[in-house]
Amino acid sequence: MTTLWLDLGNTRLKYWLTDDVGQVISHDAKQHLQAPAELLIGLTDRFERLAPDFIGISSVLGEQINTLVAQTLSHLSIPFEFVHVDPAHPLMRSHYDANQLGVDRWLQMLGVVDRKKRQCVVGCGTAVTIDLIDHAEHLGGYIFPSIYLQRESLFSGTKQITISNGEFDSIAPGMTTQDAVHRGILLSIIGAINEISQRHGNFELILTGGDAAIIAQHIARPVCIRDDLLLDGLARFFKSHLNQ
């Protein structure tokens, strides 16, 4: 049995094909340029050739887009289902408003949650999210603009700073405006993570997402980087959900 896992994020469409033991046998990621339904139409032939037995979907794109996605996938005659946030899930309970908890953020936590541990999960994607979990109970968290969103906001809101594609490679004081901008933005994220880590020193610190490696090298304590944590959350959700 093979399963296709589909993640419709704010900027990218990602998919993984796994076998019956969870091994990834095919994967890809593409920018959808705010037109994920159209991109998906172009991928349906590929999905048909992959011939999965089931498609599990995570989407943060809202009901209207999800309806178009469902219409497209229905032509494949392959069973599919969207993830929904369940604050009373057997693996992790949360007091967060389920209508406001992003499914991608929730799946990142679900992918790593452990009843024996206290955990701090940092998602380093389009937004930076920090969530605290105490023995499988979600305590809430924080949301920040990513380093790139912060840079875009600064450039669009000021006349004296011109847009630049500099590197987020240091938190040492910058000697040019370009360096000062990039290092100041990175420091704001690092400082927040370090502050939360200091307040919750007995929580395991876990980073995931595209910018995890950039951020992790500046954190003042040991960090565990987990790639494709959302994929793990998808698999854990449907394993539990379909067995109910």
What is the identity of the amino acid at 226?
R
Give the residue carrying structure tokens 């094909």.
17
Which one-letter DSSP state was computed for residue 218? T
DSSP-assigned letters across all residues of 155-214: HHH-SSS----------SPPSSHHHHHHHHHHHHHHHHHHHHHHHTTTSEEEEESTTHHH
Catalytic residue, candidates 19, 53, 104, 211:
104
User: What distance in Å separates the CA atoms of residue 77 and residue 106, rounded to the nearest whole number?
Assistant: 29
Q: Output the six-digit token pair for 234.
A: 């998808």
Token pair of 124, please?
Answer: 């380093």
- Other beta carbons within 10 angstroms of residue 72's beta carbon come to 19
**Residue 7 annotated in active site:** no
> Could you give the residue numbers annotated as active site?
104
